[in-house]
Amino acid sequence: MEIGKEVSDFSCFDEQWQRVLARDKGSDGQFFYAVKTTGIYCLPSCPSRKPKVENIAFYDSIDAAKKGGFRACKRCKPDIYL
């Protein structure tokens, strides 16, 4: 996966989505997910309600998510991984 690029490989996408659904704290900082409908990005362990899968994108870094036009979630505060 390239840094600064939205994930496009389906197998990687599916694996990361499963980690988000499981709220896997071990994945925090390894990747971030963004919700297109709300304009936010979160940690995989974020306790917020899970979005529809068609509304998400995964990013390797906070900078990549920000460049994609997203802001930090106020609930899980992913900026601690800067």
pLDDT tens profile 19-42? 999 999 999 999 999 999 999 999
**Calpha distance 35→17 (Å, rounded):** 12
Catalogue all structural domains in the chain, each as residue range(s) with its CATH number: 10-81 (3.40.10.10)
Mark whether 76 is an active-site residue.
no
**Calpha distance 74→42 (Å, rounded):** 9
Left (φ > 0), alpha (ψ -120 to 50) or beta: where does 31 sit?
beta
pLDDT tens profile 66-82? 999 999 999 999 998 76
Residue type for position 81:
Y
Q: Residue 3: its pLDDT value, please?
A: 37
Choosing from 12, 42, 46, 73, the catalytic residue is: 42
